[in-house]
């Protein structure tokens, strides 16, 4: 009897497979976030980039679902359990957040040289900002604080290390991932069940 007939084909480890594809898909997802980050830091001097930043920020959950759907359809045969979908989405966001945090560190440590916060402080010192605050009783309409208080806050943030910026971005995005992964995974797994029931 041929020895090939006795070979046992082992199924891939679900966690390792999920982790590997999440890491792979996170490259494009993270680059998408980095584009949004670049638009954000350049928005004080290029106002139109703020619109692109808002679009990328708002569409990130949709892009995350798109990657989960690709994983479900191409790797899982069109069916995925909620737990595995949730794990994949969290890992996808985690690896993308690592890329974003690294980009944030490189930008503020080697490229920015204080230009981002200086631009915002200059905007707060502009005649338009002064007029808006004066019309609102000396307070910013949305924040409810004075210009001097906001400038002081910006100066304190500016004094922080780029490592702190990167760590805060990583923590924030992991927290957001834990929340967004719930509806994303639920929708992907529900769509699978609905499709199976209607075949």
- pLDDT tens for the chain, 199 residues long, are 454 554 555 668 999 999 999 999 999 999 999 999 999 999 988 889 999 999 999 999 999 999 999 999 999 999 999 999 999 999 999 999 999 999 999 999 999 988 898 887 787 777 777 777 666 665 665 556 666 777 788 788 888 999 999 999 999 999 999 999 999 999 999 864 444 444 4
CA dist., res. 196 & res. 199, Å (int): 6
CA distances from 199 to 60, 63, 69, 192, 194 (A): 31, 27, 19, 11, 9
Q: Where are the domains of the chain?
A: 14-112+163-197
pTM of the model: 0.83
């Amino acid at each position: 009897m041929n020895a090939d007939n006795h070979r046992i084909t082992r199924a891939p480890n679900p966690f390792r497979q999920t982790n590997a594809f999440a890491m792979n898909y996170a490259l494009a997802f993270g680059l998408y976030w980095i584009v949004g980050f670049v638009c954000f830091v350049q928005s004080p001097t290029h106002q139109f980039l703020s619109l692109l930043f808002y679009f990328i920020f708002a569409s990130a959950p949709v892009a995350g679902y798109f990657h989960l759907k690709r994983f479900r359809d191409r790797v899982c045969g069109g069916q995925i359990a909620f737990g595995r979908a949730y794990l994949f989405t969290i890992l996808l966001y985690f690896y993308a957040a690592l890329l974003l945090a690294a980009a944030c560190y490189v930008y503020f440590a080697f490229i920015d040289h204080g230009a981002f916060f200086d631009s915002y402080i200059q905007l707060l010192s502009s005649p338009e900002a002064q007029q808006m605050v004066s019309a609102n009783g000396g307070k910013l309409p949305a924040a409810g604080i004075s210009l001097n208080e906001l400038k002081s806050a910006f100066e304190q943030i500016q004094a922080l290390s780029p490592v702190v910026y990167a760590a805060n971005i990583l923590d924030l995005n992991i927290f957001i991932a834990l929340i967004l992964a719930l509806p994303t995974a639920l929708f992907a797994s529900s769509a699978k069940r609905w499709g199976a029931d209607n075949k």
